[in-house]
Amino acid sequence: HVCPQPPRSCEDYWWEWKHCRGLRHAFHHYYAHGELPVCDRWRDDYEACRAWEKGHSAAAQVLAPPSERARVTEKQKYAPVWTLRKNPPPDWYLPLDQDKPN
């Protein structure tokens, strides 16, 4: 029975953990959310990924996917701000009417 790979490479989890612990990110997160970021999840995922690489352990396979699924769900719960267009507007080549009053 071949075990599936983790959804990301282990280095991705390591760099996310390092970024999360960085001073600039911590300051921004504190400014935006009023609390320091919690970075333990990235470290846990990194360790689980390494455990999976070393021994394909079942515990590591169970740990990483739920946290990855939680991240994807978190991203998907916010609607996009802009409506995406399929084609440009028909008059895209005309100059903007910046000088005209509204």
Q: What is the pLDDT of residues 26-53, one digit of tens each?
A: 999 999 999 999 999 889 888 888 887 7
What pLDDT does residue 1 have?
44
Cα gap 46→13, rounded to integer Å: 5
What pLDDT does residue 24 have?
95
Which is more confident, 13 or 61? 13
10-19, 24-33, 77-86: least confident range: 77-86
b/e burial code for range 18-43 (CB count within 10 A of at least 16 → b): eebeeeeeeeebeeeeeeebebebbb
Q: What is the pTM of this model?
A: 0.54
